[in-house]
Each structure stands twice: as structure tokens, then as C-alpha cells.
Amino acid sequence: LQHGAHRIGKRTDADMAKWRGYGLGQFIHWGVYSLMGGGYNGKNYSDAGGAAEWIRSWKEVPHAVYDSLYKAFNPKSFNPKQWAAMAKQMGVKYLTFTTKHHDGFCLWPSAYTDYNITKSPYKKDIVKEVVDAYTEAGIDIYLYFFFFFWNHPDGRYDLITKEDSIAFDRFKLFTKNQLTELLQRYPQTKGLWFDGTWDKSWQKSGAFSDSLEQHLKSLIPGLIIGSRLRADEKGNRHFDANGELMGDYEQGWERKIPKTYADVHGNDWDCVMTIPENGWGYAEKWMGHWKTTNELIEMTAQCVSLGGNFVVNFGPKGDGSFRPEEIKNAKEIGDWMKINNQAIYNCEYAGWEKQDWGYYTKKRGEDKVYMIVFNVPVSGSLKIKPA
């Protein structure tokens, strides 16, 4: 394969070692959709099972309404230092932040489209404000970037005609320009989190995504890119035709956690998770069961015990404030992390058979195993079965 995996096995450099040691991360979905909070005309998209950040695709919402939201985007309560302080207290080591979601609205002043933050009443570069505040707090930055979106004339779901290919070539150049712009504007960026690369047009663009990845990595040495970017020349995603991972870590664990170590195939991985059942952007009405702090902590332990990182999503409101439930979760996770972080940071799979009381983690590079206990047996004794 010319455009398959270029490396067999895990990366061995210091940047990736740091990524591996994060344990806990924060995801933030923020954009003009946050203004609607999943509702329109007294109806709620979550009642129809829809995610709030997808509301533009709901039949109840006229596109003209959605596409004018940016004119009202003026987050009066947005305080990036406060965001970073909350994340710091929570104990997260990295942030993945939505620079552009399905709607194509750019939270930075992109030179390649007018549909960006400078056209809102807020005007200021939100990506810069977030990047600077988190960097100052010692939290690493990953930029989320969605490829295809609802209102770009050159976007194509498939390439059937010659015109499709010509339009899509323009789209690819636009994408490359925007990503170059992001990395040049925010050189602190440690990695990119790609999304929305499931379409046939992208599957057929393996050579391009390969060259794009190499180009981006040349701009920031050590840059970390997951397995959602590339396709091989046969259209395979994540894993190439030979079954090798394309990318620095497996990016398939969205709202689901591997059950056993065998499920992760020896790769690096992280799991991104919503607090409600589904929905990433701010929703006034959260869907389904809301995860408790205990559940989120247990998921963190579970992920680290299987060699991955756990990333909790937050959806700030359109005014830049967080909902009280999220503030409480963050605070309580942080209180737990303060006491127990040794068993989370820089830890990995211990290799011992899982027991019902909880999870083992092992300090990387040391012979030190932790037991994170969630279910205390009535007998009071914790059985262990070392390998």
C-alpha cells in the first residue's frame, strides 16, 4: 500500500508518551448552535432523539434562521481564564476544542471564509482566547475540525461526475488552507481531532489525506493526529487493507468504551463521552440518563486500566457559561482526582485479570499497581489475581 499505515505499532517519541500519560481530558463543543440549546418554537430536538449541535438538520428549523444565528453570537459571560481554571481544578491534562463544526462556522478569523467569528458581534478570536488561557494553565491543546458541512458549495458526499471532482478539489484546497492557518495561528497546538470523514468522497481521497497529514506534521513536529483523518487507496478507514492503524491513535471510541484489553488491539486510544446520553452542544433539555460524577470517575478508571485516555464533553451555553450540572461534575471529578490522580496520570494496563471490585492501573515504566475500588465486597476483602 502506498497510502496505508506508515508505521507499524505505537509511536515511541516524547510527545506521544506525554499524550499517553494524560489519563483525563476535556472536550468542548461550542458554536452558534449553542444559542438554540436544542430548542425551537417551544419544541425540543432532544425529544426527537436529536443532538443539539445537529439542530440545523431538524425539519422544524428553517435554514435561514440557523444561518443567521451568528449575528446574535455575543457571549457576554465567556471567560476563558475561568474555563481553564475549571478544567485545571478538574484535573484534565488536555482540551479538544471545536474550531469548526458541521455548520462550518469558524470560531477563529479565517481568511478563507466570511462565515467566521469576526462577522459576529463578538468579533474577537475565540480559538486564540481558549488556546492562550488553557496553555497558561498548563493544559495541552487539540483542535477539533469538522470537514464536510451543510452549506459549502464545493462539499460533495460522493464523486460521481467530473464536476464533482473539480468542486471537491477546491474543497480539499480550502480544507488544507484552513488547517494550515490554524496551525500557523496557534503553534501551541499539540494535535488535531478530525471528524466527519465518513463520506465516499473522502474515502476516495486517500492520496490527498496522506499528503495532508504529512504537510500538517511538517508544520508542527510531533503533532498528534488520530485515525479519523486518512483513508488508504482502497477506501479503508482507521485500519488499512493490511489491518494496520492509520494515525497516531485509534479514534473510534466515541461514546463507547472497550470492554477488554484485546478490544484495543495494542493501539493507543482515547474515548470521548457525553454526560447526557447523547448530544455534544448545549441542550436545555438533556437526553436520557445523565452520568453521575461516580460514573464519570469509574469510566476514567476503566479507560486508563485499558491503556486509554477518557475525555469528558462539555457544552457551554451561547453566552459562554456552563450549565450547573457540568460545573458540579467538573468540581467533583477534580476533588476525586486531587486525592487519587496517582492512579490515573501516566498509568496503563496492568495485565492482571479484572476483579469485580474495580480496576487495576499500573504506573508506566514502574512496577507499581493501583487498585481503584468502586464496589466494596460485603466480606471487606479485595481478592487479587496477579498474572
Residues that bind ligand TA9 (CB under 6 A): 51, 53, 195-198, 228, 237-238, 252, 254, 272, 280
- Print burial letters for 291-317: b (CB count within 10 Å at least 16), e (below 16): bebeebbbbbbbbbbbbbbbbbbbbbb
Asked if 287 and 278 touch (Cβ cutoff 8 Å), the reply is yes
Nearest distance from residue 198's CB to ligand TA9, in Å? 5
SS3 at position 51: coil
Least distance in angstroms from the C-beta of 165 to ligand TA9: 21
CA distances from 120 to 31, 243, 307 (A): 11, 45, 42
Give me the residue whose beta carbon is nearest to ligand TA9.
Answer: 254
Closest distance to ligand TA9 from the beta carbon of 30 (Å): 11
Give the start-end residues of each E strand in the chain. Answer: 24-28, 39-40, 43-44, 94-100, 140-146, 191-195, 224-225, 250-254, 269-273, 309-314, 347-348, 358-363, 369-373
Q: Cβ 35 to ligand TA9, closest distance in Å?
A: 16
Between CA 216 and CA 168 the distance in angstroms is 20
Residue whose CB is less far from ligand TA9, 157 or 198 = 198
Closest contact distance (angstroms) between CB of 6 and ligand TA9 is 19
Amino acid residing at 245: L
Q: What is the DSSP letter of 58?
A: S
102 vs 362, which CB is nearer to ligand TA9?
Answer: 102
| Pick 116 or 227: Cβ nearer ligand TA9 | 227
Q: CB-wise, 195 or 348, nearer to ligand TA9?
A: 195
Phi, psi of 356 (to 5 degrees): -65, -20
| Distances from the Cα of 273 to the Cα of 26, 98, 385, angstroms | 9, 15, 30
Nearer to ligand TA9, 227 or 361 (CB): 227
**Residue owning grid cell 434562521:** 65
Compare residues 189 and 313 and give the one whose CB is closer to ligand TA9: 313
- Rounded to a whole number of angstroms, the minimum distance from the CB of residue 273 to ligand TA9 is 10
Nearer to ligand TA9, 22 or 145 (CB): 145
Q: How far is the CB of 86 from ligand TA9 (least distance, A)?
A: 20
